[in-house]
Amino acid sequence: MNEPTIFTKIINRDIPGQFVYEDELCVVIMDAFPSVPGQVLVIPREPVDYVFDLPDTTYQHIFTVAKTITAALDATFDVSRTCLIVEGYEVPHAHIKLYPMPVTVTALDEVIGTTTPADPTELAALCTRIKAAL
């Protein structure tokens, strides 16, 4: 990729983001356009467009991190479960979206596509709560 993706800019701190977790292979940030409160993105540092083109080590790692973050989401929010979707169409940088599903929601399609920009103060507060559960 020639141009840095928006995720690369966030990872490099060129654009602000609420970081829940980070290590040498990936970051986890609050989704600035969530469908549900607490929605996060697990993003490999390497800007690979298609998740199945990631190196095996990175691929396995982001799913392991997603599992760890899911435990924190489940402990932080009143959820029936946390859903996982692998994304990559709107941003040419593979990533995983984790949706902590409120107990009042019975299907993912009830919330997908209903995104609105999140309040930065609310994102910061939710980020702090999730970090505390890690």
pTM over 0.85: yes
Percent of the chain with pLDDT over 70: 98
Predicted pLDDT at 3: 85
Q: Residue written as tokens 């919330």?
A: 111
> Exposed (0-12), middle (13-18) or buried (19+): which is 63, by Cβ within 10 Å?
middle
Q: pLDDT digit string (tens) for 2-18?
A: 789 999 999 999 999 99
Domain regions of the chain by residue span = 6-133
CATH of domain 6-133: 3.30.428.10
What are the pLDDT digits (tens) for 58-96?
999 999 999 999 999 999 998 989 999 997 678 899 999
Averaged pLDDT of the chain = 91
Q: What is the pLDDT of residue 105?
A: 82
Strands of 31-75, DSSP E: 40-44
